[in-house]
Chains A and B, each alone.
Chain A
């Protein structure tokens, strides 16, 4: 069954699609420090976010000892925060999940291997983020299990630029 499913679009008259929006932007210069909200952030192609711990060359992040090209910017779904509150009774703020961009209306888990526009910047999704115990230590909240398979998306920056709260997120296919 599975081997008949391909990543190509289905042959159908129905148009598949989504459009999302950037709700929150956060960054921090070093591991463990609180994330600070920003109205706009600057993405540098092939490197990362200006001022963020995972900017290549900054080496200030918890995982900086394991450099990873595909972790230049990370995204998280606002819908997951809503679900955590609804299903697990855990209030987690957008400044607490430690990804940079909180989006609404973007099916992040569907985008691995695909390209999409985040405002004026072009990203390529490399892999799903994995929750880590580190985040429980920082937030003091038991969110490791509830975040499995929905802890965000790691991306490479193909085309840099400024991303602002309220920017549209669109498929680049």
Chain B
């Protein structure tokens, strides 16, 4: 087997803990307990599961706890398979590749008050933020947790509930709360965020319709389609030597598409300056974005790490 570039952070499942009905907490660490790549409160990671699925989960622990990634996963029997695989197949000691953490609270945003609205297991991104804010005192916050009856991860929320910083709303007793009064008035130093099922995020968006977009954040259980540059278009690579056809999605690099398709291309800088991924092209309209090929070289070659295509079809000498 040809060696491939390492594209994920190697972690080992160090612990699995029950955390309420149908919920398990998974603790991932480096095999040698080295510090893991840093993250912001409320950040999320992609897990590359052994069965090939890639699924995104929020980190529940806080950034200062830097040798672990802790995720809470609710088993969704009718979900897309990620939570079932984690609950049913993953054991302590298993190796899981994860992405670098993304997203989370920006400490420099000048926010002094946070209002978090969570539906059930949607509490996970806010757990990390709440712990971080409670410990550092960087900003005031209230976490409204809306549940049918049982509080998920209750053992991890007890002290915050006692302090009144987590307010539980049980719909089985009081019905669905009106979100507007919970959110309060808009202000430049107030940030409101919601994570929960679709009906709740819809209510939240209506309640915050008049707010400045920068002060409102919504996380959905099912990720919306990624935002793509409106000028980016998908195209098809035809590989002249192997006869293979590879689709490049809008916004994807040719390099990523080739690697996904199992085509081994040498790479190094991935930014169009080193020349490692130079590939010949035979037919099409390549858009060169490298900073290394001379004009006459561009008539025959392109750099797959940065080049695009101005036509639906591009034939490469691969």
Contact = CB atoms under 8 A, between A and B. Distances in A.
A65 B34 contact: no
A143 to B, nearest CB: 11
Contacts of B268: 63, 66, 130, 132
A113 B133 CA distance: 52
Contact of B34 (A28, A59, A132, A133): A28
How many A residues are at the interface, by size bracket? Answer: 20 to 34
Interface stretch (B13-21, B185-193, B213-221, B269-277): B269-277
A130 B35 contact: no
Contacts of B36: 33-34
Contact of B266 (A31, A64, A66, A138): A66
A8 interface: no
Contact of A36 (B10, B34, B271, B273): B34
Contact of B30 (A33, A65, A133, A134): A33
A133 B269 contact: yes
A134 B37 CA distance: 13
Interface in B1-19: 2-6, 8-10
Interface string A20-57: 00000000111111101000000000000000000000
Contacts of A133: 269-271, 305
Contacts of A144: 269, 271
B297 interface: no
B89 interface: no
Interface string A130-152: 11111001100000100010000
A30 B98 CA distance: 13
Main secondary structure of the interface of B (DSSP, over half): loop
A116 to B, nearest CB: 25
Main secondary structure of the interface of A (DSSP, over half): loop
B279 to A, nearest CB: 17
A148 B274 CA distance: 10
Nearest to A61: B6
A138 B30 contact: no
B9 A32 contact: yes
Between B5, B6, B266, B274, the greatest number of chain A beta carbons within 10 A of the residue's beta carbon is seen for B6
Interface residues of B, number: 24
Contact of A65 (B3, B38, B100): B3
A65 B3 CA distance: 5
Nearest to A53: B6
B6 to A, nearest CB: 4
B229 interface: no
A130 B32 CA distance: 29
A34 B38 contact: yes
Interface in B238-295: 266, 268-271, 273-274
A36 B35 contact: yes
B35 A34 contact: yes
B3 A130 contact: no
B238 to A, nearest CB: 26
B10 A30 contact: yes
A65 B4 contact: yes
Given A34-B36, A64-B3, 7 more contacts: A29-B32, A29-B34, A30-B6, A30-B34, A66-B268, A130-B274, A131-B273
Interface of A: 28-34, 36, 59-66, 130-134, 137-138, 144, 148
Interface of B: 2-6, 8-10, 30, 32, 34-38, 100, 266, 268-271, 273-274, 305
